[in-house]
Amino acid sequence: IVCRINVASVRCFASQPELATHTAPSVKLLIDGEFVESQATEWVDVTNPATQEVVSRLPETTTGEFNAAVQAAKEAFPKWRSTPLPTRSRVMFKFQELIRKNMDELAANVTLEQGKTLPDAKGDVFRGLEVVEYACNLAPDLMGDYIENVSTGMDTYSVRQPLGVVAGICPFNFPAMIPLWMFPIACTVGNTFVLKPSEKDPGAAMMLAELALEAGLPRGVLNIVHGTHGTVNRILDHPDIKAVSFVGSDRAGRYIYERGSANGKRVQANMGAKNHAVILPDANPEATVAALTGAAFGAAGQRCMAISAAVFVGGIEPWKDALLSRAKALNVGPGAASSTDVGPLITPEARDRAANLIQSGVDQGAELLLDGRGVKVPGFELGNFLGPSLLSGVNPSMDCYKEEIFGPVLVCLEAETLDEAISIVNSNEHGNGTALFTRSGPAARKFQNEVEVGMVGINVPIPVPLPFFSFTGWRGSFHGDLHMYGKAGLQFFTQAKTITTNWKDTDDQRGKRAPGLDA
């Protein structure tokens, strides 16, 4: 059955959340330019985290459907890679225009399936849009090198060529942004793509795919398969898939990196995080507390760049009251309500896991300054809500510190000196992001130089780089050597070819007409 979805129809899922599982719409596959109904025998419910209502049903793609998607990508590759770069770029120009036009519908779907507030959902789409804008003008970063006269009459030059069929595996927490980190750059440099959105919130990726086709992406250039581990394994094992871009948890990322690499694929795995803020006593009091609460509790803490640990140099005491009063003032509720600051977590299991980690902190000796467990949201009693929570007196041996909680929980540590704080940050296994709050230039310079974390903010709580840079997580937060988007992302999706030519002006050739031009 061939079934085109369109943005209006997806919006209409959003207005019918009462649909029961068996009547909920199915999420389609995208194979060779057609949105098709899967023949899967196993289906996963996509639920609204604020209500538990089933929004749609997602298929565990069958082997035949998966192979058809890869085959479509493989067949589309020769023509697409030889399509002129300006033509491929023009698709991205149109795509960015269509994303802008459909921003509200995309954001509404993100809120419906992921749970975040509408402003956060718009931010999710917008940060992805910026990558599309970068993909509109890749030529400067794609340019090769050329050296004349490497030997007499000989020149060498290198160009970057696409890899072929490449794939992306996405997490739930940024259902619009992460797909847009992947396929716009990969496709604009000439690859064809197989995308696996998160099984928890595939709607935004489907809407984006529809817009990409409308923008002129030819059939087969972007394909979408759905599912969980089985579909991931097929991606990792298929010989025609040359590279895999992954964003998600440590457990899945390590597995995907190992299995994909063992199968000879290029893999980049962006994984979990424990991002520390280090607060020096001279930091601006109001701006710092506002930044900390936004970065710890915004998007319900479900950001890989959320601040989830705060290290107060000189002690938490001067900061405690302000932090508590700001955190208490945040409104917990459904993402669609304009009064909401903190939406639900993605699943009841995620909420329970975070609640258990809060309890483990208490059991292991931390002080629970603010307890968000048991928060009630009238009218949304089934939602996966957890209110902002603050644990102080935490030390690095506690589980609430060692685990990525991925919820609105800030664990607070203390250090006597900046050196000690840096040592705490550097001893953590993750190295995604970190931020220092201070008014001291020399302290900031020391921190940015010595901290072993890939993205550093100085008075910037969530230092996610814009797409002309790259997203450069370090250590346990990243496996691979070429990061997402920016120049590194472009290199990930291309390979260098180096050509040496010999056009010597020899005696034989000098003065003779070129062959074939005699007539």
Measured in whole angstroms, the distance separating CA 392 from the mean position of its chain's CA atoms is: 30
Supply the minimum distance, in Å, between the C-beta of residue 343 and ligand NAD: 15
Piece in contact with ligand NAD (CB under 6 A), picked from 101-109, 151-159, 267-275, 285-293: 267-275
Q: Is residue 249 close enough to count as binding ligand NAD by CB under 6 A?
A: yes
Task: In whole angstroms, give the CA distance from residue 109 to residue 118.
Answer: 9
Q: What is the three-class DSSP state of 361?
A: helix
Phi and psi angles of residue 486, each rounded to the nearest 5 degrees, phi first: 65, -165
Site size toward ligand NAD, by CB under 6 A:
29
Over the window 142 to 171, marking each residue x when it contacts ligand NAD by CB under 6 A and - when it does not, the resulting string is ---------------------------xxx
Rounded to an integer, what distance in angstroms lies between the CA atom of residue 271 and that of residue 254?
A: 8
263 SS3 class:
coil
Site string for ligand NAD, 191-220 (x = CB under 6 A): -----x-xx---------------------
Query: Which residues on adjacent β-strands are paired with residue 270?
Result: 247, 478
Q: In Å, how far are 394, 414, 473 from 429, measured between CA atoms?
A: 17, 19, 12
Clarify whether 304 is annotated catalytic: yes
127 binds ligand NAD (CB under 6 A): no
Question: How far is 121 from 234, CA to CA, in rounded Å?
Answer: 31
Choices 23-31, 42-50, 61-69, 249-257 (CB under 6 A): range interacting with ligand NAD: 249-257
Sign of CA dihedral 383, 388, 393, 398: positive
* In the complex, minimum distance from the CB of residue 198 to ligand NAD, in angstroms, rounded to a whole number: 5
Taking contact as CB under 6 A, which single stretch among the options 50-58, 247-255, 355-363, 387-395 is the one that binds ligand NAD? Answer: 247-255
Rule CB under 6 A: say whether 308 interacts with ligand NAD.
no
Q: Does 93 bind ligand NAD (CB under 6 A)?
A: no
Q: Which two tokens stand for residue 9?
A: 């129809």
* Interaction between residue 401 and ligand NAD (CB under 6 A): no
Kindly state the tokens that stand for 435: 């931020």
In the complex, least distance from residue 473 CB atom to ligand NAD, rounded to whole angstroms: 5
Residue type, 362: V
Any idea which residue has 């996966």 for tokens? 384
- First-last CA distance in the chain: 60
Binding mask 349-378 for ligand NAD (x = CB under 6 A): ------------------------------
Token representation of residue 482: 């070429």
User: Looking at 304, 309, 390, 435, which residue binds ligand NAD (CB under 6 A)?
Assistant: 304
Question: Closer to ligand NAD at the Cβ: 173 or 389?
Answer: 173
Query: Is the Cβ–Cβ distance between 138 and 89 less than 8 Å?
Result: yes
Q: Is the CB of 322 or the CB of 460 nearer to ligand NAD?
A: 460
Q: If you compute the radius of gyration of the chain from its CA atoms, what whole number of angstroms results?
A: 25
* Of residues 144, 238, 243, 143, the one with CA closest to residue 187: 243
Residue 270 is a binding residue for ligand NAD (CB under 6 A):
yes
Distances (CA, A) of 132 to 81, 82, 269: 18, 21, 21
Contact region with ligand NAD (CB under 6 A), list: 19-27, 54-62, 224-232, 455-463 = 224-232
Give Cβ neighbours of residue 508 (< 8 Å, ≥ 6 apart): none
Least distance CB 28 / ligand NAD (angstroms): 17
The residue whose Cβ lies closest to ligand NAD is 248
Site string for ligand NAD, 444-483 (x = CB under 6 A): ---------------------------x-x---x------
Given 162, 248, 476, 480, the residue binding ligand NAD (CB under 6 A): 248
Nearer to ligand NAD, 229 or 376 (CB): 229
The SS3 assignment for 454 reads coil
One of 187, 304, 400, 412 is an active-site residue; which one? 304
Q: What is the DSSP string of 379-435?
A: T-TTS-----EEEES--TTSHHHHS---SSEEEEEEESSHHHHHHHHHHSSEESEEE
Catalytic residues: 304
Footprint of ligand NAD (CB under 6 A): 169-174, 196, 198-199, 228-229, 232, 247-249, 251-252, 255, 270-273, 304, 404, 406, 432, 471, 473, 477
